[in-house]
Each structure stands twice: as C-alpha cells, then as structure tokens.
C-alpha cells in the first residue's frame, strides 16, 4: 500500500470508521429488496384508490416486499408528482399517474416538472367522462342539448372544478366545436356539482362514470353521451359523442409511473409485473364495475400516451388561455 493510502486507512481506523464501497446502483438482479412506495395524488377512498390498492396488494405478493400506498393530494395532483420525482430514481418510489399529470405541465405557468421527468411503466385503466344533464333540461340527447344551448346563449351552465379542470376543458371543447356558449360554475368536487345538478340548479356536469352511475341508475339525472371512443359496459345504452355526431373524443387514464432515470431493467421488471395484474380476470371485473376499462401497455406505448395527452389539449389551453399561476 502506498504511503498516502496507508495514512488514509489508518486515519479512518482512528476515527472508528471504515472504508466501504458506496451504494450499488439499483439493478433488476436484487430488485426489490425493501419497501416500495406507491403515491397517489388524490384523497383516500376515491376512484383512483380502487385500482391502485388492488395493484399494490398484488405487487406485494409477487415481489415479497411491502408495497405501501400513500395519498398525497393537493395542487391538482402535482404534489404527488413532485414528491416522487424528488426521491432516488431507483424504482422504489412510484406514482399512480393520471391524465392530469402531463396536462398540468401546460396548465400551470410555473410547472415544477416536465413530461420528460416522468417514466411511464404501464397503463392500468382508462375512463370516459359522462355528459350528465339535469332532468329539468329539455333535452333527451346531446344534439337536443346543443340546439337548446344555441337558442339560449349563456343560459345553460355547467359544473367545473376550476379553470384548469377537465370539466372546464371539455365544456370549452364543446362550445368551440358546436358554436354554443355556456356558463361555468365552480365547485370543490364532482359530488357537490352532481347534487346541484340533481336539484336542478346546475344543468350539465362532465363527471366520472363511477360518480354519475348511481344517480343515472336511480333516474335522478340523464346521461346523454360519454366522451370516450367506445360505449361503457356499465351504461351500454348511452352513445359516445362521436356516435352522436359531435367530433370530440376524450378520455382519462391511470397508470404506474416512476421518475426518468430508473434503470431500464427495473422498468421492464415493474412493467411485466403490473401488466400481469392488469390482465387478470379479477382486476378486469373490479375496474369494469367502477365504470372504467382495464388496459395495460408497454413503457414505450405509455410514454406515447403521456405525450399525446398534452398534445391533444394544447390547442384548447392556448385558445382559451386556460392557465393557472
């Protein structure tokens, strides 16, 4: 040992320390060997929790380590994204990412992350929005609603969860496509807006099917269309907007994401595990009951979906200046 090396070695021993190699880079060879955290940007008990907790439980069984679900709502789900991105990029901190995460990079003027910061692992579900209408509105289909709106500019109102919400974006798309004008009313959540719709004080709500369906089934409101590219199994009699002659197709999605920089072999291992769960009959039954559609993907396919979600909304955001400081 050279004199300088011997001196450093003795100095470390005198301090009671040791010379040890630093932490090894994460690799699929020993992944996972400790707790995995799955962060959700919405409150516990919501529709996002249903598939997320099922997947967390099955991942834990498959990997033999705890998979802990942590709800971190706030700031349009951006708090959860920033939390995961701030952690080591090793696959142990994952995110239940949603359609809102790439869209938020456009909506927030001072976004704390970019799309390139996200690593898509696999999609887990996609869902349409239901065009729910008060029974007090004289329309039995979407075309009648549009005609009424054109004949009474600004009279129809709609519930929205803020200017940057999907409800507001869909309303603006409908206004632009059909040449009508509606008035947005702000609410804290879909449940509040739906109660006001049932009472007749709100006319239109673009709501998640899981929230709308019980009231639709009880005939407390009408559902004139769904925004996705296919009818929902839970509401097979309700046409899509496109079927009804309205050229709008919009759907949200949920997936499992991590931060960019996770080693490729770990991404592949996580993707294979998540896809096995999503493709199982048990998961399919669970998700269909909630009004959504189970869907899995490769990381490459998911990354393309993430980018497309932002690209599709960008023209609407620009035209109507739907931005949040």
Domain ranges of the chain: 36-127+252-320, 130-226
In this predicted structure, the answer to whether residue 175 has a pLDDT above a threshold of 90 is yes
pLDDT of residue 292: 85
CATH for the stretch 130-226: 3.40.190.10
120 vs 165: which has the higher pLDDT: 120
Q: What is the mean pLDDT of residues 122-145?
A: 96
Q: Establish whether domains 36-127+252-320 and 130-226 are of one fold.
A: yes
pLDDT over threshold 70, residue 55: yes
pLDDT value of residue 27: 62
Q: Is the pLDDT of residue 45 over 80?
A: no
Q: Which contiguous run of DSSP H or E holds residue 197?
A: helix 190-198
pTM (2 d.p.): 0.81
Q: Which residue did the predictor score with more confidence, 188 or 200?
A: 200
In angstroms, the Cα distances linking 272 to 38, 165, 277 are 17, 33, 9
- Mean pLDDT, residues 58-86 taken together: 94
Instruction: Answer yes or no: is pLDDT of 10 > 70.
Output: no
CATH superfamily of 36-127+252-320: Bordetella uptake gene, domain 1 (3.40.190.150)
Average pLDDT over residues 304-317: 92
Helices (H) and strands (E) in the chain — how many of each? 11, 11
Query: In terms of DSSP H, where are the helices of 27-114?
Result: 49-63, 78-85, 100-107
């Amino acid at each position: 040992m050279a004199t300088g090396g011997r001196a450093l070695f003795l100095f470390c021993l005198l301090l009671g320390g040791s010379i040890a190699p630093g932490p090894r880079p994460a690799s699929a060879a020993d992944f996972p060997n400790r707790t995995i955290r799955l962060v959700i940007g919405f409150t516990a008990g919501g529709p996002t929790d249903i598939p997320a907790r099922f997947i967390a439980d099955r991942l834990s069984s498959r990997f033999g380590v705890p998979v802990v679900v942590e709800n971190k709502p706030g700031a349009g789900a951006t708090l959860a994204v920033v939390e995961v991105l701030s952690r080591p990029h090793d696959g142990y901190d994952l995110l239940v990412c949603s359609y809102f995460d790439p869209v938020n990079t456009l909506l927030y003027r001072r976004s704390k992350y970019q799309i390139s910061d996200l690593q898509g692992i696999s999609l887990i579900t996609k869902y349409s929005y239901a065009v729910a209408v008060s029974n007090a509105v004289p329309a039995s289909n979407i075309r009648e609603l549009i005609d009424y709106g054109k004949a009474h500019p600004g009279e129809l109102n709609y519930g929205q969860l803020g200017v940057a919400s999907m409800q507001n974006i869909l309303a603006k798309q409908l206004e632009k496509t059909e040449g009508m004008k509606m008035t947005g009313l702000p609410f804290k959540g879909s449940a509040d807006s739906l109660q006001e719709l049932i009472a007749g004080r709100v006319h239109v709500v673009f709501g998640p099917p899981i929230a709308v369906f019980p009231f639709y089934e009880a005939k407390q409101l009408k559902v004139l269309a769904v925004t996705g590219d296919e009818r929902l199994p839970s509401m097979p009699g309700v046409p899509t907007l496109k079927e009804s002659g309205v050229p709008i197709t919009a759907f949200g999605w949920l997936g499992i994401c991590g931060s960019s920089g996770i080693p490729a072999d770990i991404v592949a291992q996580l993707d294979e595990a998540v896809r096995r769960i999503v493709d199982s009959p048990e998961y399919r039954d669970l998700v269909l009951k909630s009004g959504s559609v189970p869907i899995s993907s490769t990381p490459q396919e998911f990354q393309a979906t993430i980018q497309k979600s932002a690209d599709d909304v960008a023209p609407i955001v620009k035209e109507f200046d739907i931005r949040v400081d």
